[in-house]
Amino acid sequence: CANILLDLLFIIGLEMNSTGAAIASTISEYLALILGLWATRKPLSQAIRRGLKQSLQQGPTIRRLAKNNFEIFVRTASLLFSLSFFTAQGASQGATTLAANAILMQLVMAAAYGMDGFAHAAEALAGRAFADSDRQRFIAVCRCCGRWALYSAIAASLLLLVAETPLLDTMTDLPDVRSAASEYYNWLIILPLASAACYCYDGIFIGALRTKALQYCMLVSVFGLYLPIWYTSQSWGNHGLWFAFTCLNIARGVTLALCFVWIFSPSRWQNILR
């Protein structure tokens, strides 16, 4: 809320444009930090006092947590690299293409919120079932969250399909940018369906702490498929870039699905709990 109000103040009220947006975001982040520290001031101080003692007592657990966090870090860094690479390649094709891609990517992120919600639900519910060694409940949770993630993807694609003109008119009033965004808009309609599986599997694997699979699936998808596909489709221009990005999301879902079948098979279930 603070970010929105500050955006209105700095961008519209004070006409500071992108500088105002940056200032608003910075103030909002620090405000969130201050509020978070204030809300957790007592538990935080107690945790600091107990932290060293517990770290010494729970060395193996701390090491495993650090290992899981590092694998998630590698996975997230690879994902951020793929997004930064996408932006850089769009920029190399001109300011209009860069602006059009930025608008479409914002709509991609907005469409992902519904699927992300079920991914977070899968993270918590599947993680609890996995910790309880209840494979039947674990599989039921995965199927339910996967089904609703797919429903969200279908709804997002349909909404994007019927709302192209009002969405683009809302995002920009520049005719050239709107025209360029419309040219590549069909990729936006495809992406929610292409991404539903990878979002849901992300939550499942994080909840079950199978972070090594997440790490390697992302590395294979980004460096084994995304970059080679982009390289071979450069003659398609920006369409080739969007094609490579769509393939990246499909590859993430397919590789994680294969890992899911292998890791969580009945024959391996008891072994991975040890």
pLDDT tens column, 2-57: 778 888 888 887 777 778 888 888 888 888 888 877 776 666 556 555 655 555 55
Residue type present at position 68? N
Shared domain for 78 and 43, answered yes or no, is: no
Host domain of residue 8: 1-57
Domain count of the fold of the chain: 2
Shared domain for 123 and 203, answered yes or no, is: yes
Q: What is the DSSP letter of 134?
A: -
Shared domain for 88 and 216, answered yes or no, is: yes
Which residue, 57, 76, 92, sits at the end of a domain? 57
Shared domain for 164 and 223, answered yes or no, is: yes
pLDDT tens by residue, 216-271: 999 999 999 999 999 999 999 999 999 999 999 999 999 999 999 888 887 777 66
Shared domain for 83 and 7, answered yes or no, is: no
* CA 255 distance to own-chain centroid: 16
Which residue, 57, 73, 97, sits at the end of a domain? 57
Tokens standing for residue 130 = 């996995």
Tokens standing for residue 74 = 């590698």
Shared domain for 49 and 97, answered yes or no, is: no
pLDDT tens by residue, 137-188: 889 989 998 899 899 999 999 999 998 888 888 888 888 989 999 999 999 9
pLDDT at 220 (0 to 100): 94
**Count of C-beta atoms within a 10 Å radius of residue 172:** 16
- Contact (CB, 8 A) for 254 and 213: no
Shared domain for 134 and 215, answered yes or no, is: yes
Shared domain for 51 and 71, answered yes or no, is: no
pLDDT surpassing 60 at residue 273: no
Which residue, 35, 57, 79, sits at the end of a domain? 57
| 274 vs 35: CA distance, rounded Å | 40
pLDDT at 224 (0 to 100): 93
Shared domain for 205 and 139, answered yes or no, is: yes
Burial class (CB in 10 A: 0-12, 13-18, 19+), 111: buried
Shared domain for 37 and 108, answered yes or no, is: no
- pTM (global) more than 0.85: no
Shared domain for 227 and 241, answered yes or no, is: yes
Q: What is the DSSP letter of 14?
A: S
pLDDT at 241 (0 to 100): 93
| 264 vs 270: CA distance, rounded Å | 9
Residue with tokens 């694997």: 205
Name, in order, each residue with C-beta under 8 angstroms of 145's C-beta and a sequence gap of 6 or more.
118, 119, 121, 122, 125, 126, 200, 203, 204
Shared domain for 139 and 207, answered yes or no, is: yes
Residue with tokens 């918590």: 124
Name, in order, each residue with C-beta under 8 angstroms of 28's C-beta and a sequence gap of 6 or more.
2, 3, 6
